[in-house]
Structure 1
Amino acid sequence: MNEPQTEQGWQAWEMLMRADPARFDIAGLLAHGRALGFDERALALLLPFAEAGMREGISSELE
C-alpha cells in the first residue's frame, strides 16, 4: 500500500478519512483542517488529487 511520506500528506490522509465519498466537500475539509491547525495550503493542493483517487477507486469497484 502507498502511504503518505510527509506530515502534510498524513494531514491530507486524515481529512480524506473524514470525507463523505458521496458528497466530497473540499471547503468543509479545509475548514476542518484549519481548525486542527493543519497546513491549509498543502491540503488545498492535495485534497483534489485525493478526491480523484477516491472517485476512481469507487468507480472501479462498481464495475
Structure 2
Amino acid sequence: MKPFELREFSTAELKQKLHDLREESMSMRFKKQTETPKPSDIRKTKKDIARIKTIMREREDTVDGE
C-alpha cells in the first residue's frame, strides 16, 4: 500500500492491518520451509509493515509534541 493510502486509516485500523500483515509474514516464513513463495511478496509485506509502523510513530510524535 502507498503511504498516502495508509494515512487515511484510523489508528485502530492501522493496528489491525499491522496485526494482519505480521500474521501473513509469519505464515510466509513457514511456507518458505515447504514451498518457495515469491521473494517479492515477502519483501512487499515487510515494507508494508515498516510503512505502518512509521505512520503510527509519526502520529505518536505529533500527539506528544503538542
TM-score between both structures, scaled by the size of structure 2: 0.40
Higher helix share goes to which structure? Answer: 2
**TM-score (structure 1 length as normaliser):** 0.41
Query: Which structure has more RCO (C-alpha within 8 Å, separation ≥ 6)?
Result: 2
- The structure whose Rg is larger is 2
